[in-house]
Structures are given as C-alpha cells and as structure tokens.
Amino acid sequence: MKNNQSLHLLKPFILFTGLCLGLSFISLAQVTQPKGLQLSNVTKVARLTGTPLETENLPSPNNTAKAYDVGGTDLGIFWQMKGSKVGIFFGDTHGREFVAEKGGKGGGNGANWRSNVLAFSSDDHLEDGITIDSMALDQNGSAREICAGGKTNPQKYNTSIPTAAIRVNNTDYVHYMNIYDWAGGNGRWLTNFSSLYASTDDGKTWMRKNEVTFKGDSKFSQVCYAKRDGYVFMIGSLSGRGGPGYLARIKEKDMLNLGHYEYWNGNTNQWEKGDESKATVVIPSPIGEASLIFHEKYKKWIIAYSYDSAYDPSAKSKFHALAYRDANEINGKWSDLKILADVNQFKGLYCPYIYPLRNNEDQLYFTMSQWEPYNVYLMKADIELK
C-alpha cells in the first residue's frame, strides 16, 4: 500500500517530466529549425515585349514594336490597379527600328528613345503569357514617356527610371530615380533625386509630386513597395546594385507626407519618424532592382532582386543572378541569400519584378529582363516550404 501510494504521488512528476522532454524534442525539431521558402523550377513562360527571335519557341501575345512603337525595353514593374487590372512600367525604351542582339552587345538601339513607358493589362491567365490591353500613348500612337526623362533637361538628366509602383486610396503612384551618370563606381548609379508621379484617373494622366523627393544619396533612391495593415512598406537602397537594403513605412493616408515616413532602426528596434538617417540595414548588400510581396498562402514576405557578386565581399565566385530572401516579419530576420536564377540559365538576366495578383498559389510569376535581346519575359517558379 505504501509503495503504491508513493507511485501515485510520483505519477504527476513522471508525466510532467515526460511532457517536458516531449516539448524539448518538439522545440529542437521544429521551433529552432523554421521552414523557409524555396523557389525552384524557374522557367520562361512567354515573351512580354518586342519581337520574338528566330531561336525562341515561346508564346508572344504582344507585338509591342508594331502596336506601340516599343521594340526594345526592360524592367516590367507590376502593381495592382483597380480590381484585377495591373499596370506595368518599363524602363529605357526604343522604337520599331530596334534590332535585337545588334553586334552582340545587347542594350538599346533604334529611334524614338523614351526614358520610361507604361502598359496596362487585365489578363490574369498567365499560363500562356500576359496580353497587354493598352499602353499610355502620345498623339502619334506611340507609347509615351510618363516620368520626365533625359530629353526634358539634357544638361542635368541622363534618364528617369521607374523603380516601383503602388495604388493607394484610388491613386496610383510610381517611384522613380532621375539618373545623371550610370558609371558611379562600386555598383552605384548617380542620381539627381528620386521622387513620385501620381495618377488619379487610372493611369491616363500623371503629375510629379515634388513633396516626396529623396536626395541623390538617399537610402531610398530605389524602392520596392507592398501594402499591409494600413501601411505602405518599402525596402530601399542607394541607386545601383552595390548597396544594402533599408526599410521604411508610411500610413496609406500619409503617402505624400514625407515627414511622416517612418524608418526601421534595428539597433533600437523602433520605427523612427521623419529621419531617414536612422534607417539601418535589413538586407545585406548587394541589392538592386527589387520587388516585394507578402505571400498569403505561406504567410511569408518575399523580396526578389538583381544580385551582382562583384559587390559581395562574401562571394566565393563571380556571377550575376536573380536572388531572393524570405521572412516572417518584414522588420524581422530575413533568410540567407538564395539564388532564383543565374547567368548560366539566362544570359544577361536582371530585374525580377513579382506579379502581385497570384500570391496565394504554389507558383510565383515575375518578369525578367535580358540585356540581350533587351526585352522582358514572363517567368514562373514553383514555391514550397523546406
């Protein structure tokens, strides 16, 4: 009877000890080894701009050279407009006379250069590519420049390149950088300033918003945008592909009030209002031409960007790639750098801009530019947790 009583008294201790051991096992196996996103099986879905090459065997739903005088271009920055409509900003653009792979050098050539142009699409069936519904046109029927570019002030402006766009309270905004020299050294492009244009009529007309102007050496010379919980979040960098990434946010209602922008400081773990200098690094260098999304299915933030190992002191080899990282919280710890695709797969690749309307699936769609033939392609990658 005494032994049984002792055993009875020990049962809670044994149960508690066993429970603790079980919890320890679970924490070691699961909690300390959180799963991260893996993007794999990257493939070209279709050509988005220009004229197909003879060697290409891809869908090409848009003859942008013939229809819009867009023969060669790059970027392909998506953002969701009204409903299921998306806008697509492109960078330096050349007209119908553009010749792909001219002299094997890539890049632009041909007449009617514009610093940037804009397309619209309501095609959300991406398996065979994206059909462009229309572009913002000039009086001659050619895609027109939206952000004032090099021709508007040739003594000071080289070009004006869109970096991100977003719709807030029925207004569409594009952030752009005004460049005066592409060869700034150490992966830098030199800018006069970065600023916003806005449209209140669904992209028909645009006006410069001088009240949001970043200086030429701003940590937010280039940005990527994403909305969540009433805020517009942006990860920014110096212009170019050599610097790190910084984090800021702004309440949607204050989009045009630069003094209300808040910058994440990882040293104090606080948002610092109105003082860009307080922003600390959230993405290690090098980062360039980034896009940002919160994936609803996997509950993860994803940032994708151009990566040049020449500006990465930890790189063991030299190469260009499209890279990505993921995080549970945008101001939390981001994963190590992961390679989405590299130059061995797609020659002259850059600019992975994520399509915003398919963020609840097992595939991630994005655009990719190639320096040769200087055009934009729709891409797809599989997503899984590992």
* Per-residue model confidence (pLDDT) at position 352: 98
* Per-residue model confidence (pLDDT) at position 92: 97
Q: Find, among 154, 169, 145, 139, the residue nearest to 89 by Cα.
A: 145
The rounded radius of gyration (Å) of the Cα atoms in the chain is 24
**What is the rounded distance in angstroms from the CA atom of residue 173 to the CA atom of residue 170?**
10
**What is the rounded distance in angstroms from the CA atom of residue 92 to the CA atom of residue 162?**
10
Summary count for the chain: helices (H), strands (E): 2, 22
Query: What tens-digit pLDDT sequence spans the chain (386 residues)?
Result: 434 443 333 333 333 334 333 433 333 333 344 678 999 999 999 999 999 988 899 999 999 999 999 999 999 999 999 999 999 999 999 999 998 866 666 787 788 999 999 999 999 999 999 999 999 999 999 999 999 999 999 999 999 999 999 999 999 999 999 999 999 999 999 999 999 999 999 999 999 999 999 999 999 999 999 999 999 999 999 999 999 999 999 999 999 999 999 999 999 999 999 999 999 999 999 999 999 999 999 999 999 999 999 999 889 888 899 999 999 999 999 999 999 999 999 999 999 999 999 999 999 999 999 998 999 999 999 999 98
**What is the rounded distance in angstroms from the CA atom of residue 299 to the CA atom of residue 32?**
18
* Per-residue model confidence (pLDDT) at position 265: 98
* Per-residue model confidence (pLDDT) at position 172: 98
* Per-residue model confidence (pLDDT) at position 4: 41
* Per-residue model confidence (pLDDT) at position 318: 87
pTM (2 d.p.)? 0.90
Classify residue 355 by its DSSP letter. Answer: -
Residue 142 is inside which H or E element, if any? none
**What sign does the CA torsion over 320, 384, 336, 283 have?**
positive
Q: Do residues 373 and 50 make contact, with C-beta atoms less than 8 angstroms apart? A: yes
* Per-residue model confidence (pLDDT) at position 104: 62
* Per-residue model confidence (pLDDT) at position 86: 98
